Amino acid sequence: MSDGGTRVWTEGWGGRKHGGFTAARAQPQREGWRRRCHCRLAKELRDVIEDFHRIKRLPPYVFAEVNRLKAAARARGADIIDLGMGNPDLPTPPHIVAKMVETIAKPRTHRYSASKGIPGLRKAQAAYYERRFGVKLDPDSQVVATLGSKEGFANMAQAITAPGDIMIVPNPTYPIHEFGFIIAGAAVRHVPAGTGEEFLRAVEHAVRHSIPKPLGFILSYPSNPTAMVASLDFYKDAVALAKKLDLIILSDIAYSELYFDGNPPPSVLQVPGAMDMTVEFTSLSKTYNMPGWRMGFAVGNDRLIGALARVKSYLDYGAFTPIQVAATAALNGPQDCVDEIRETYKVRRDCLVESFERAGWTIPPPPATMFAWCPIPEPFRHLGSVEFAKLLIEKADLAVSPGLGFGEYGEGFVRIALVENEHRIRQAARNVKKFFSQGADAEDNAVNLPQKVIR
Ligand SMILES: Cc1ncc(COP(=O)(O)O)c(C=O)c1O
């Protein structure tokens, strides 16, 4: 469904046959009985899987094609520089690891933990909000620890939406912002991502032209993938709009500590009255290089936090206690490790922008996050982001994420993650320079894979 201001409307992908999943496949001419039997079973299994209501709503994974090509190139022995996934490559600071090691030796920490987080951890998160944003939180009713912010976000979607509900989601954005709601059975209405009046106008337009009325909207700044940062004034306007239209706000600030211009990004909860309708998600994954530990938080409105805590109480027993204790040490301990992590990304960002500029690819320096949002260079723009990403693997031994993977409005861009050191980034730039210098020939030799990719 389309309309002027908010073009994309996702009901999920139920009932569609796509991506070759159910496409007729040529049967080999001479296959034995066992193989035919196996194929029949596999087809039946595919049909059963397609019948699952929630699975039917999920489209094929755009990144899968690029990942497959990357794996094939590596299998051939290519030295692929992987700047695709936002998976931090640096180690967790030693004092956090030491706290984990110390705690894991205590048998009493081996029992089931607390689903919403141990009290000390929730207090540490409340202290972080007070110190960083000047926002006071009640650790009992306004803070829940989550198994990474992704889990928290997805379970919040489960907690507050039902089939028939509508949520307004920016596009492009981190995929769980959309698919958390799709999996929960809700419908999603997209608005072009932005940090100004236009974005809020698009939200208002979507609310006025949707039946039933949408439940709320998502904010996520600094943004993955675009690295856009929101101002406190924008948040003030967003809260005023939410109040006027009686909407919930879900804000994801996973990159709140990765900023490069000396201006710490604000929290929407700093706006007076935001607590009436807002929940905000944070993560230790990027701030402390702890992606594998799975530790994040949801904080804010007690009714919404209560709903999330209740759903989680049926689903999990919380993170392993030693992880929660180590996470407490991260939040309460020395913060110079955060400064060092930020500085590392800044140095890599500058290296990327400078070396790629020399290679003939102008990349706007991101003000925050660990990503650069890169316009596809003119000569390749007609290919689209998926084909261009595939070409970079084949011709420059470089893996990036196609913008289309973050939503239709992400087309025309690829996302480069700063997850390799400067030496490797410079090597990637040299590879790109060589590839660009081959001109049209390079494109002609590209692997010819399907043009149309469904997100
Ligand atoms: C915007 C955003 N939110 C949330 C997450 C998930 O973080 P976590 O590791 O806390 O689940 C990511 C991870 O890349 C992200 O980019």
Instruction: Give the residue from 198, 195, 308, 292 showing the smallest Cα distance to 248.
Output: 308
150 close to ligand 1 (CB < 6 Angstrom): yes
Q: Which residue has the higher pLDDT, 33 or 48?
A: 48
Ligand 1 mean position to 349 CA, how many Å? 19
Q: Give the Å distance between the CA of 109 and the centre of ligand 1.
A: 27
Question: Between β-strands 81-82 and 398-399, what pairing exists: parallel, antiparallel or unpaired?
Answer: parallel
Contact by Cβ (8 Å): 396, 211: no
**Token pair for residue 134?**
């000047």
| Rounded percentage of the chain residues whose pLDDT exceeds 70 | 85
Q: Please tell me the predicted confidence (pLDDT) of residue 390.
A: 95
Complete edge-to-edge strand list for the sheet that includes strand 371-375: 371-375, 413-417, 401-402
> How far, in Å, is the centroid of ligand 1 from the Cα of 163?
25
**Nearest atom within ligand 1 for CA of residue 283:** 10
CB 295 within 8 A of CB 323: yes
Residue 295 Cα to ligand 1 middle (Å): 10
**Which residue has a Cα nearest atom 14 of ligand 1?**
86
Which pLDDT belongs to residue 53?
Answer: 83
Instruction: Please state, as a whole number, how many other Cβ atoms lie within 10 Å of the Cβ of residue 433.
Output: 16
pLDDT for the residue numbered 140: 98
Ligand 1: centre distance to CA 366 (Å)? 18
Query: How many Cβ atoms sit within 10 Å of the Cβ of residue 291?
Result: 18
pTM: 0.89
Residue 12 is predicted with a pLDDT of 55
What amino acid is encoded at 128 in this protein? Answer: Y
Average pLDDT of the chain, as a whole number = 89
Q: Is the pLDDT reported for residue 21 higher than 60? A: no
Is the four-CA dihedral 221, 223, 229, 230 of positive or negative sign?
negative
- Ligand 1 atom, smallest distance to 153 CA: 4
Dist CA 259 CA 262 (whole Å): 7
DSSP lists the bridge partners of residue 279 as 250, 300
Q: What are the pLDDT digits (tens) for 253-299?
A: 999 999 999 999 999 999 999 999 999 999 999 999 999 999 999 99
The residue whose C-alpha atom lies closest to atom 2 belonging to ligand 1 is 254
Structure tokens at 353: 């922008």
- Ligand 1 contact via 149 beta carbon (within 6 Å): yes
CA dist., res. 349 & res. 194, Å (int): 22
Tokens 């940062």 belong to 229
pLDDT in tens, 335-382: 999 999 999 999 999 999 999 999 999 999 999 999 999 999 999 999
291 lines ligand 1 (CB under 6 A): yes
Q: Say yes or no to pLDDT of 162 above 80.
A: yes
Q: Looking at ligand 1, which atom is closest to the CA of residue 223?
A: 1
Dump pLDDT digits (tens) for 201-236: 999 999 999 999 999 999 999 999 999 999 999 999
Report pLDDT digits (tens) over 87-141.
999 999 999 999 999 999 999 999 999 999 999 999 999 999 999 999 999 999 9
Q: Which two tokens stand for residue 125?
A: 């998160």
**Residue 92 Ramachandran class (φ > 0 left, ψ -120 to 50 alpha, else beta):** beta
146 touches ligand 1 (CB under 6 Å): no
Strand partners, 249: 217, 278
248-252: strand order across its sheet: 9-10, 187-192, 166-171, 216-219, 248-252, 278-283, 296-300, 143-146
Neighbours of 72 (CB within 10 A): 13
pLDDT value at 27 more than 60: no
Ligand 1 pocket member 177 (CB < 6 A): no
Residues 6+ apart with CB under 8 A from 256: 132, 222, 264, 265, 267, 282, 287
Distance 187 CA to ligand 1 centre (A): 22
Query: Which of 89, 155, 221, 252 to probe ligand 1 with, by most ligand atoms within 8 A of CB?
Result: 252
Closest Cα partner for 216 from 246, 182, 184? Answer: 246
Using left for φ > 0, alpha for ψ between -120 and 50, and beta otherwise, residue 196 falls in beta
Residue 150 alpha carbon to ligand 1 centre in Å? 6
- Kindly indicate the confidence band of residue 22, based on its pLDDT and cuts at 50, 70 and 90: very low
Tokens of 135: 């926002």
